[in-house]
Amino acid sequence: MVIVPGSSAIVPRAGARLSATPFQEALEAIAKPLEFAARDGFARIERLPELERNVADAAARALALFVPLDVKQRIARIEAAFGKPLPGPQKRAAVERALAELAPLRDPAFADAAIARGLGEIPGVGPRRAQLLAQRGLRSIADLLFHLPSRYDDRREQLRIADLEVGRRATFSGEIKVSDFGPRKGRQRTFSAVLGDESGVVTLKWFRGGEAVAAHVKKGVRLRATGEVRRYRFSKEVIHPEIDLLREGDDAGAAEGIVPDYPAWEGIPPRTFRRWVAFAVEHYSDLVPSTLPELLARQRELPLTPEALRRIHRPHPEADPERLRRRQTGAHERLVLEELYLLEVGLALRHAERAREPGIALDPGRPGVAAALAALPFRLTPAQERAWDEIARDLAEPHPMNRLLQGDVGSGKTVVAALAAVAAAESGQQAALMAPTELLAEQHARTLRTLLAGAPHLRTALLTASVPRAEADGIRARLAAGELDLVVGTHALFQSEVRFARLALAVIDEQHRFGVLQRQALAGRGPGGLHPHVLVMTATPIPRSLALTLYGDLDLSVIDALPPGRVPARTALLREGQGKRVVEQLRETLARGEQVYVVYPLVEESEKVDLRAATEQAERIRAAFPDVRVDLVHGRLDAAERGAAMARFAAGETKILVSTTVIEVGVDVANATLMVVEHAERFGLAQLHQLRGRVGRGARPGTCLLVARGSSEDSEARLASLLGSTDGFAIADADLRIRGPGEFLGTRQHGRLPDLRFADLVRDAKLVALAREAARDTVRRNPGLARTPDLARAVKTRWGERLALVGVG
Ligand code: ADP
Ligand code: MG
């Protein structure tokens, strides 16, 4: 959090301090003079002539609050008792009674319990309607208060009927000229009425419930109506308008102001629902806690939550309906920031909980580590060095590291991770490097071999499904006996029953889907049941806002620059019918002795069709280039066949690799310089960017041809942003904006995306960062939230279960 100069009086507690609710403040204002009078056995009570007036005034102010009637009754009794000067003996009894009256209200749990009351508290909500609301997820007063309008009707001005615009909602009034039922259809009859003013007429129609309406809406009746105007043949009509009957003397033009509009539900007329929300606001809003540090709220000039709710549910007539609709007001920001803050506090608590766990302190300063670095054929880039520094510092701590290493494809994450593994092994412990595929595991083993030229005494092994059974058993036995220092394998390494004698570091590659729960699978696998250090690597450039919410409990290292000399792939977009250009590019690439990937999408529903298309394409390419070896890999091949094909390509035997699955994420074939993506419109943006990163990894620049064979608005937007940028993070942000967080992370991720009610990770990315900073600050100053039980309770209620928080509240 920003420290404001000169405000040192607030700052030390700013991270912890939340604003009191208006209700709490009002109660304390009443209680203070009473408690003062009661001090030291009422010793001073005779000398407090102002007591009655002070208490009565404070009570009168409290009566103006938006609190329930039962609360007001208690306070009114106090006000009445202190409304007149009291003679000595009565005074003492009155103070005692008043304090007893206040006691239950001052219990911190009172307000929480009050806003958790059922909706039956609201006049007009009986059991049937309460059930209807419950089906929509509205069970308590608080649910209703936080159920925001989807839009607002600007009813400050009425239109003349002749000026009604088709397609817009409007409010207007007039007199019923004629009304009539249409022919009966089943049990329903359409009821329509023609409403006219001096300028023209419009038809109002009810397809349902016409009988009830017809009882009031008769010729000659005046009424005001609101609804969306539609065209019907040569006239205008409004279906199911909201109406107000106007009586003699009513001003038809009386403004209703800006009226919130909640999603309409069958069985609950909008006006009725609005009345219920209004009741909840009127009687409960001042009980709602404001869970943001006061200082932050003040900096952003945010209203307290009670006031924010009132501004949202009953907007000021001067408010801007458009900003309200787009949820761009300070009131909305209060709710968004509060929601994000609670989440981030939860994540920060988890982070802190884990930072306290005992772990294994390693020594990355060992000579073997320096020797490994020196054995590299290149120098680390500054970005790699920074990441390595951060990791090395974590490893040296006697607490487990939990770090996400993020870097664009080809940025050189593996070397950094492998250095960490060497540091563990050199410290006399074990390290495991895990990749999502066998091929990648083999690649990591090669990287490790380069490094180990400088540390030849370390004992390593590669453990994948293709290792013969007997050999694999041997490796497992040696791991368990502590006779191996480093093991490289697939993710199955830690899922299966592999036992380690003293696992101190687990590196997990290409696994941005690796969440809190999976990390727990590693818990206690270290020596003596300690938690090993965990480093998760991902090339999926997760936008910062998402990383901060999904991985708020991880520390983040970013490698944000490619090794020198690496030129981003040139990207071109081709359309159906431009196949000739693809063939030309293929020929030129092969003529230079370089290799080519051709990638086909494969969606499960159309697997057969896609596979056929890819097979045919492979045949066509073979026919066109009879002198070179063309391989086809697809998901139906078994792992060994696929691995063999990939190995042939890596060795340069195969020149063109046609693939239906995305080329195994992360393969590193320096001689491949051309990537052709068929049906590019069917790939996600991040995926396309990753594919493009597969080429141009050697000295020669890469080219990526995206062949689009269809289009939609979304796919065009995706392709355009890919052509427009080579920055993985900019692309990921665009992807997130186009697809939304759920899609962005893939369906499997859905369950783990925090369900945010108000915040939008795309729109509110800046607020996420702000909330995170404030949350970390809070937890640093106020460990375990010991000093703020209200906040601890709020966090636990909202996120406790999802984040598996144990030591809170
Ligand atoms: P990724 O981050 O995608 O996992 P890799 O670790 O596979 O990237 O590295 C990509 C390629 O870049 C590898 O061939 C690696 O040897 C090479 N490389 C890594 N770091 C550097 C560096 N500092 N200078 C030059 N080449 C590097
Ligand atoms: Mg990699």
Ligand 1 center from residue 699 Cα (angstroms):
12
Q: What is the mean pLDDT of residues 633-645?
A: 79
Q: What percent of the chain clears pLDDT 90, i.e. is strictly above it?
A: 43
Would you tell me how many other CB atoms lie within 10 Å of the CB of residue 140? 19
Q: What is the mean pLDDT of residues 592-616?
A: 80
pLDDT for 95 equals 95
pLDDT at 729 over 60: yes
Residue partners of 550: CB distance under 8 A and separation at least 6? 515, 542, 745, 752, 753, 754
**Nearest atom, ligand 1, residue 416 CA:** 6
Cα–Cα dist 625/361, whole Å: 57
Assess contact for 365 and 335: CB atoms under 8 A. no
Residue partners of 184: CB distance under 8 A and separation at least 6? none
Q: What is the mean pLDDT of residues 246-261?
A: 75
Strands 235-239 and 257-261: unpaired
pLDDT band at 9 (very low <50, low <70, confident <90, very high): very low
pLDDT for 53-89, tens place per residue?
999 999 999 999 999 999 999 999 999 999 999 888 8
Task: State how far the alpha carbon of 626 is from the alpha carbons of 324, 515, 620, in Å.
Answer: 65, 47, 10
**Nearest atom, ligand 1, residue 670 CA:** 14
Atom 17 (ligand 1) nearest CA = 412
Residue 208's nearest CA partner among 182, 176, 234 is: 182
pLDDT at 752 over 60: no
Atom 19 (ligand 1) nearest CA = 412
Q: Cβ < 6 Å from ligand 1: which residues?
A: 378, 380-381, 384, 407, 409-415, 539, 563, 666, 668, 697
pLDDT for 573-603, tens place per residue?
998 888 889 999 999 999 999 999 999 886 5
Handedness of CA 749, 750, 752, 756 (dihedral sign): positive
Please give the DSSP secondary-structure letter assigned to residue 626. Answer: T
Residue partners of 113: CB distance under 8 A and separation at least 6? none
Which has more confidence, 269 or 400? 400
pLDDT for 664 equals 57
pLDDT for 18 equals 67
Ligand index nearest the alpha carbon of residue 373: 1
Ligand 1 center from residue 376 Cα (angstroms):
11
Please give the DSSP secondary-structure letter assigned to residue 43. Answer: T
Please give the DSSP secondary-structure letter assigned to residue 3. Answer: P
Residue 225's nearest CA partner among 198, 203, 249, 200 is: 203
Cα–Cα dist 504/361, whole Å: 9
pLDDT band at 7 (very low <50, low <70, confident <90, very high): very low
**Around 675, how many Cα atoms within 13 Å sit in the side-chain half-sphere?**
29
Q: Which residues make up the environment of ion ligand 2, defined by Cβ < 5 Å?
A: 666
Cα–Cα dist 69/142, whole Å: 17
Which of 379, 413, 414 maximizes ligand 1 atoms within 8 Å of its Cβ, making it the mutation to test the pocket? 414
SS3 517: helix
**Nearest atom, ligand 1, residue 510 CA:** 4
Task: State how far the alpha carbon of 494 is from the alpha carbons of 373, 391, 519, in Å.
Answer: 27, 21, 10
User: Locate tokens 């409007």: which residue?
Assistant: 170
Burial of 799 (0-12, 13-18, 19+ CB in 10 A): buried
Ligand 1 center from residue 668 Cα (angstroms):
9
Ligand index nearest the alpha carbon of residue 416: 1
pLDDT for 548 equals 66
Assess contact for 571 and 727: CB atoms under 8 A. no
pLDDT band at 410 (very low <50, low <70, confident <90, very high): confident
Atom 16 (ligand 1) nearest CA = 412
Handedness of CA 390, 395, 400, 406 (dihedral sign): positive
pLDDT band at 8 (very low <50, low <70, confident <90, very high): very low
Ligand index nearest the alpha carbon of residue 413: 1
Would you tell me how many other CB atoms lie within 10 Å of the CB of residue 710? 11
Ligand index nearest the alpha carbon of residue 510: 2
Task: State how far the alpha carbon of 310 is from the alpha carbons of 260, 303, 304, 337, 758, in Å.
Answer: 11, 10, 10, 17, 16
pLDDT for 511-525, tens place per residue?
655 444 455 666 667
pLDDT band at 343 (very low <50, low <70, confident <90, very high): confident
Which has more confidence, 799 or 214? 214
Cα–Cα dist 795/344, whole Å: 9
Assess contact for 724 and 590: CB atoms under 8 A. no
Which has more confidence, 449 or 635? 449
CA angle 769, 771, 777 (to 5 degrees): 105
Ligand 2 center from residue 767 Cα (angstroms):
31
pLDDT for 594 equals 95
Residue 675's nearest CA partner among 644, 699, 647, 707 is: 707
Q: Which residues of 409-444 are buried (b: 16+ CB within 10 A; e: fewer)?
A: bbbbbbbbbbbbbbbbbbbebbbbbbbbbbbbbbbb
pLDDT for 411-423, tens place per residue?
899 899 999 999 9
pLDDT, the chain, mean: 85
pLDDT at 5 over 60: no
pLDDT for 429 equals 95
Structure tokens at 69: 């009637």
Ligand 1 center from residue 697 Cα (angstroms):
8
**Nearest atom, ligand 1, residue 697 CA:** 11
pLDDT band at 6 (very low <50, low <70, confident <90, very high): very low
Assess contact for 761 and 549: CB atoms under 8 A. yes
pLDDT for 324-336, tens place per residue?
988 889 999 999 9
Q: Which residues of 538-557 are buried (b: 16+ CB within 10 A; e: fewer)?
A: bbbbbbbbbbbbbbbbbebb
**Nearest atom, ligand 1, residue 559 CA:** 2
pLDDT at 299 over 50: yes
Structure tokens at 434: 């895990």
Which of 411, 557, 667, 694 maximizes ligand 1 atoms within 8 Å of its Cβ, making it the mutation to test the pocket? 411
Ligand 2 center from residue 664 Cα (angstroms):
10
Ligand index nearest the alpha carbon of residue 511: 2
Ligand 1 center from residue 683 Cα (angstroms):
25
Atom 9 (ligand 1) nearest CA = 412
Which of 373, 376, 378 maximizes ligand 1 atoms within 8 Å of its Cβ, making it the mutation to test the pocket? 378
pLDDT at 239 over 60: yes
pLDDT for 495 equals 61
pLDDT band at 541 (very low <50, low <70, confident <90, very high): low
Ligand 1 center from residue 405 Cα (angstroms):
14
Alpha helices in 107-239 (DSSP H): 108-115, 127-135, 141-145, 210-214
